[in-house]
Amino acid sequence: MSTKKDKFSIQDKIYMELALDLARAREGHTGTNPSVGCIIVKNDKIISVGQTSFSGRPHAEQNAINNSTEDLTGSKMYVTLEPCSHHGVTPPCTSSIIKSKISEVLYSIIDIDKRVKGKTFKILKSKNIKVQQGLLIDKVHKFYAPYFFYGNNCIKRIFRTSGVFA
């Protein structure tokens, strides 16, 4: 029996379960991007949700930020996969998180994309945003197993050769 105290509350687990449900709902429908779910909570109340868009963009975090009708200052964000931190087709989700004044970000899994992998934690911490990772890691890892096995580049090759994103 472990004496290590679980650092995540029951409420944290419930919110991440909801984020995972959002990701599952878009599985296979997000183009070359992995399907991600995001929940934003303030004062123990869900104030916004987001999923990766059908085209893969905008990302779940940006959709959740855009969907909120409330001020996000001091809120908590729950995300199934590490938020992106690089400039690509869209600006980094970390920039949107910082700009929105979200005070805490909890994500389950570190992204395997080399442009992101492990960088989000440092970026958000440097802006005094509390960051935790590993929430529901086993359950979320099972969901992302195909992404971790095949990776984004394999998915992109499949789409290119099929003519979907030619």
User: Using N-to-C axis directions, what is the helix angle for 93-100 and 119-126, rounded to 10°?
Assistant: 20
* Catalytic residue flag (residue 27): no
Strands 104-109 and 76-81: parallel
In this structure, what token pair is assigned to residue 62? 């940006």
**Under 8 Å between Cβ of 60 and 52:** yes
The C-alpha atoms of residue 166 and residue 153 are separated, in whole angstroms, by 15
Q: Which member of 17, 27, 61, 70 is catalytic?
A: 61
The C-alpha atoms of residue 63 and residue 144 are separated, in whole angstroms, by 20
Q: Which residues pair with 104 in a beta bridge?
A: 76, 130
Where do we find the tokens 């409420």?
Answer: 11
Distances (CA, A) of 94 to 26, 33, 48, 82, 101: 22, 17, 17, 10, 11
The residues that are catalytic are: 61
